[in-house]
């Protein structure tokens, strides 16, 4: 004995299907908003990338200056080490 599908079950099955044409129509009507959103995301990502690069360069320069001061101190040149540390 087979059960007949109820109209509610058929509606749920139809709602689960993915309609590509509806999505494409929606994207076409919202093209301007989606383009602006994509540009905003790219600009924010680029800004974050440049900020991280700047921070990394600053840290590298500080580490290099500290290394120079430490090397001067270990070499016994305290005045140079003091000057280098003041610059850091």
What's the count of helices (H) and strands (E) in the chain, helices before strands? 4, 0
Regarding predicted confidence, which is higher, 16 or 69? 69
**Confidence bin at 6 (pLDDT 50/70/90):** low
Q: What is the mean pLDDT of residues 51-79?
A: 91
| SS percent in the chain: helix, strand, coil, step 5 | 85, 0, 15
Residue 11 scores a pLDDT above 80: no
Span 42-61, average pLDDT: 97
Q: Residue 76: left if φ>0, alpha if ψ -120 to 50, beta else—which one?
A: left
Q: What is the model's pTM?
A: 0.58
CA 24 to CA 45: how far, in whole Å?
A: 27
Whether residue 65 contacts residue 84, with contact meaning beta carbons closer than 8 Å, is answered with: yes
| pLDDT band per the 50, 70, 90 thresholds, residue 35 | very high
Q: What is the pLDDT of residue 29?
A: 92
């Amino acid at each position: 004995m087979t059960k007949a599908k109820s109209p509610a079950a058929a509606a749920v099955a139809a709602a689960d299907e993915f309609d590509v044409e509806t999505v494409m129509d929606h994207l076409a009507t919202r093209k301007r908003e989606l383009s602006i959103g994509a540009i905003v995301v790219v600009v924010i990502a680029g800004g974050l990338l440049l900020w991280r690069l700047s921070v990394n360069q600053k840290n590298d320069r500080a580490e290099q200056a500290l290394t120079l001061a430490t090397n001067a101190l270990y070499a016994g040149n305290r005045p140079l080490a003091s000057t280098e540390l003041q610059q850091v």
